[in-house]
Amino acid sequence: MAKAIALDTKLDSKIPPGEMSEKWTKYKGSVPLVAPHNKRRIDVIIVGTGLAGASAAASLGELGYNVKAFTFHDSPRRAHSIAAQGGINAAKNYRNDGDSVYRLFYDTIKGGDYRARESNVHRLAEVSTAIIDQCVAQGVPFARDYGGLLDNRSFGGTQVSRTFYARGQTGQQLLIGAYQALSRQVHLGTVKLYNRHEMLDVVVVDGKCRGIIARNLLTGEIERHSAHAVVLCTGGYGNVFYLSTNAMMCNTTAAWRAHRRGAFFGNPCYTQIHPTCIPVSGDYQSKLTLMSESLRNDGRCWVPKKAEDCNKHPRDIPEEARDYYLERRYPAFGNLVPRDIASRAAKQVCDEGRGVGTTKLAVYLDFADAIKRFGRDTIEARYGNLFEMYEKITGENPYEMPMRIYPAVHYTMGGLWVDYELMTSVPGLYAAGEANFSDHGANRLGASALMQGLADGYFVLPYTIGSYLSKEISTGAISPNTEAFEAAENDVKERLNKLLNIGGKQSVESFHRRLGKIMWDKCGMARNAEGLKQAIQEIRDLRKEFWSDVFVPGTNNEYNPELEKAWRVADFIELGELMCFDALNREESCGGHFREEFQTEDGEAQRDDENMKFVAAWEFKGDGAEPELHKEPLEYEVVKVSQRSYK
Amino acid sequence: MSNNMRLTLKIWRQGGKYKGEFVTYKLDNVNEHMSFLEMLDVLNEQLIANREEPVAFEHDCREGICGTCSLVIDGRAHGPMKGTTTCQLHMRHYKDGETIVIEPFRAKAFPVIRDLVVDRSSFDRIIQSGGYVNVNTGQAQDANAIPIEKDQAGEAFDAAACIGCGACVAACPNASAMLFTSAKVSHLALLPQGMVERKKRVLEMVAQMDKEGFGKCSNVTACEAECPKEISVGNIARLNREYIAASLASETTN
Ligand SMILES: Cc1cc2nc3c(=O)[nH]c(=O)nc-3n(C[C@H](O)[C@H](O)[C@H](O)COP(=O)(O)OP(=O)(O)OC[C@H]3O[C@@H](n4cnc5c(N)ncnc54)[C@H](O)[C@@H]3O)c2cc1C
Ligand code: SF4
Ligand code: FES
């Protein structure tokens, strides 16, 4: 019998009552509405215009709210969402292969290693189908078959084909769809777009979020913007590891500043390490490139059985001397096991000395069999652009040589803690998309981030935000000329000045790289208590060194990318410490969080459902003070919690 | 191939203490596996170590999809390789001792912000003027309700693959934005969902394009040659057809 985890009075997840499959329908039927003439008098700030932000801004604009949308990019179309390759899941069951809302829900809960909130995940599966309809109506050119109907592919962790895709550029096409919807609202005047503006703080007045402080990145001007609600759609924080598959500018600043102002941070240690990325080639390396998971549909992972074969040309290693380790260990799912499992398996064979390539930190992903079976043309039609990308970077042709791949940081399941309505622990402050912690538990399934971002923005927030805003209709316009705004503005200016005036000797980049190394070595694919304790100390030392020896050129009153980067790296350093705290606290292995002390005999993650079946929501207690842990117990009403097996 | 190439870089600097001029830098130890932008990172680290202003250049995804990176390299937008963005260009294509000239994307409608960074928000305003389908969230019918012929969908995709980088403008002697605009017009005109508004769309987008100060297209086709996504000039022909049809239609209805 599992012990009950005590309810925390500061955490109300607001899960609606009733049967799992009816919660969302009932919620929508009873949530208070804001009448059209009142919506015009309500201001909403959306920070971030990636999939989550663009879809939210467009949808709220269509509803008639006054929306201000902020992005630090020069255009919404540049958001990191643009880089998603493989696809987007939806429970359409167009294949007639047994898919259903329940199965998508179940796969997501299981894939997340039983650490996600059931009610949110069920809603996600329910709205997934409408996303595909919406995108097609916008003109998203999804892949089609010869009958002119939509095509699907399989992704890891599932036994059905439910992934919709647009060649290898699904994120690009979905983002362009959302960007166009957003542009339409800009044209209609319901959304005002602030590009090249970076949010550097949220403003909380009498316990409610009432606006943001933003820096105009062209002029350096610090601006106050007020609103009745603020939604952060600011993406994930994988770049805390320095090297990741995230775009260079992805950062934690918005989420971290919100955290410092009272928003709890949920499960910060849950990081997804993606199994198929191009390996690191040198110390000048600035980022890592993902090779889409869809490649595992046709590519086979292997390493030589014997370490002494590792320097041979792969084509000279005969079949019987190869270890197709995923197919061997997980016959039911083979190369399509979930990401956390595939990554760990790759690390294990490399740790055994059987890695390949110059660094010996790589495994083969081989298409020879698939090319034999389907022909080169078919493989080219499926993955042509990915093969080309691989060749551009490595100078090797994957039609002839197996790809060399290694795991890399890719996605962060952790993020701002939100309730069922996507509201953080600060009233009026919401978080959507990768920025929140909500739907993927301890491991995200492939093609589910795009689904979640668009679900949040198109179909969830437009309903749930009304529940709060319906109580704001008599508030009237919020003035930015109040003490709280002034104080926040001054804090921002002071911190900027401090950064510019340190005048030390080391570059921002060098600090970021050092932070990344600590995180990857001690809070990466495998973690242990001792390493995490060391990491916390090392990060604290690094933070001190940063604030006394960083060099930031230029001034505040101009376009100054180094200053932007310095602020972001300073926030990453603080977040890194919290991640290590969380990883140390979570005394179990689950999903992407692998604590070496907690594993089964055959090296699989060992959960502790009795003591650890909760969301860790951390409260900021001031610089130098330890963060306070709040626990949201996870109740499983529908899915039976069991040891995850893909064998 | 060498692991410590020496290069001379002539880089356009504008803003701060620079009025708008080429500045020459020497760089040692360039590794052939580095990307072009990683080579510039190394230069910037060196400048910062000497307490000089780093060179401003834009980039984000570094995998050829976000359209943020720009740069005219030795006179060519996105450098010498066909179908390749600046961020995907690798140093293995250069030789020890070479001199490389690096400039921003230049066009009246792309004012320089600093060094190699330009303002391309005129592209956003072209899209805002009509580059979309008028459909609200929740209004859509089932995604499979309208079958679309596979090749037709593929053709729409080819046009939709534009990353909005602006190389076509930088490559064009007239600084025309026709390739970019026509890619969007084609993407939507080729799909049943976008067909309904095709006339209005093309008129409005072309009007906005002219208003932004982009030049006229005189069929030089340098845009297609430099486009990293190999967007076809066939799209420009389609835009012209759409435009003529739409102009005639609006004359008869007016
Ligand atoms: C290479 C790669 C491939 C992927 N492939 C897939 C896939 O095939 N399928 C899938 O489901 N998922 C995939 N993912 C994951 C998925 O792309 C992301 O999780 C998702 O797109 C995140 O969307 P978002 O809207 O939450 O954030 P983002 O797209 O990251 O957008 C963040 C936005 O916030 C803005 N912003 C951030 N901070 C601030 C601030 N302080 N002030 C102002 N603006 C700010 C940015 O300008 C940007 O507009 C992939 C990820 C990577 C790295
Ligand atoms: S048409 Fe080509 S060159 Fe022009 S913006 Fe699009 S991708 Fe860039
Ligand atoms: S940096 Fe994204 S396309 Fe080059």
pLDDT in tens, B203-230: 999 999 999 999 999 999 999 999 999 9
Q: A201 vs A222, A223, A226, CA distance in Å? A: 11, 11, 12
Question: Given pLDDT bands bounded at 50, 70 and 90, which one contains residue A2?
Answer: very low
* Surface-to-core class of residue A623, CB atoms within 10 Å of its CB (0-12 exposed, 13-18 middle, 19+ buried): exposed
| Six-digit token string for A21 | 């499959």
Dist CA A78 CA A49 (whole Å): 9
Residue ranges of domains in chain A, CATH in brackets: 20-270+413-469 (3.50.50.60), 274-410 (3.90.700.10)
- Give the residue-averaged pLDDT of B12-38: 95
CATH class of the domain defined by B4-103: alpha beta
Q: What is the pLDDT of residue A381?
A: 84
Q: Is the separation of the CB atoms in A269 and A617 below 8 Å?
A: no
Half-sphere exposure of residue B230: CA atoms within 13 angstroms, side-chain side? 7
Give the percent of chain B with pLDDT over 70: 98
Q: What is the pLDDT of residue B253?
A: 60
Dist CA A103 CA A423 (whole Å): 27
Q: B93 vs A133, A430, B150, CA distance in Å? A: 44, 47, 37
| Six-digit token string for A440 | 């993927």
- Give the residue-averaged pLDDT of A373-389: 90
| Six-digit token string for A34 | 């804001």
* Nearest residue to A617 via CA among A110, A52, A117: A117
> DSSP letters of B94-134?
S-TT-EEEEE---BTTB-EEETTEE--HHHHHHHHTT-S--
Give the percent of chain A with pLDDT over 90: 90
Question: Given pLDDT bands bounded at 50, 70 and 90, which one contains residue A604?
Answer: confident
Dist CA A227 CA A225 (whole Å): 7
Question: Any chain B CB within 8 A of the CB of A180?
Answer: yes
Q: Are strands A229-232 and A43-47 parallel, antiparallel or unpaired?
A: parallel
Q: Which long-range contacts (CB under 8 A, 24 or more apart) does A302-308 make?
A: A302/A363, A302/A364, A302/A366, A302/A402, A303/A349, A303/A350, A303/A354, A303/A355, A303/A356, A303/A363, A303/A364, A304/A354, A304/A356, A305/A354, A306/A354, A307/A352, A307/A353, A307/A354
Ligand with the closest atom to the CA of A69: 1
Q: A588 vs A236, A272, A347, CA distance in Å? A: 24, 16, 19
Q: Is the separation of the CB atoms in A176 and A184 below 8 Å?
A: no
Lowest mean pLDDT among A154-158, A404-408, B196-200: A154-158
| Six-digit token string for B236 | 């420009």
Above 0.90 for ipTM, yes or no?
yes
- Which of B34, B63, B128 lies closest to A186 in CB terms? B128
Question: Any chain A CB within 8 A of the CB of B27?
Answer: no
Q: Which of B66, B162, B227, B229 to mutate to test the pocket of ligand 3 (most atoms within 8 A of CB)?
A: B66
- Give the residue-averaged pLDDT of A145-169: 91
Residue nearest to atom 21 of ligand 1 (CA): A81
| Six-digit token string for A645 | 């097996």
Alpha-helix runs per DSSP H in chain B: 36-49, 121-128, 150-160, 167-171, 178-189, 192-195, 198-211, 222-226, 234-253
CA of A515 to the centre of ligand 1 (A): 22
> DSSP letters of A325-379?
HHHHH-TTTGGGS-HHHHHHHHHHHHHTT---STTS--EEEE-HHHHHHH-HHHH
Q: What is the pLDDT of residue B91?
A: 96
Q: Write down the pTM of the prediction.
A: 0.97
Please give the span between the terminal C-alpha atoms of chain B, in angstroms, as a whole number.
66
Dist CA A607 CA A113 (whole Å): 8
* Nearest residue to B122 via CA among B1, B48, B49, B215: B215
**Is the per-residue pLDDT at B2 higher than 60?**
no
Q: Is the separation of the CB atoms in B196 and B139 below 8 Å?
A: no
pLDDT in tens, A59-82: 999 999 999 999 999 999 999 999
Phi, psi angles (nearest 5°) of residue B166 = 95, 5
Task: Just give the CATH number of B121-253.
Answer: 1.10.1060.10
Q: What residue segments make up the domains of chain B, in order of their start?
A: 4-103, 121-253
| Six-digit token string for A425 | 């622990």
Question: Any chain B CB within 8 A of the CB of A243?
Answer: no
Q: E-strand spans in A436-585?
A: 506-507, 550-551
Residue nearest to atom 2 of ligand 2 (CA): B227
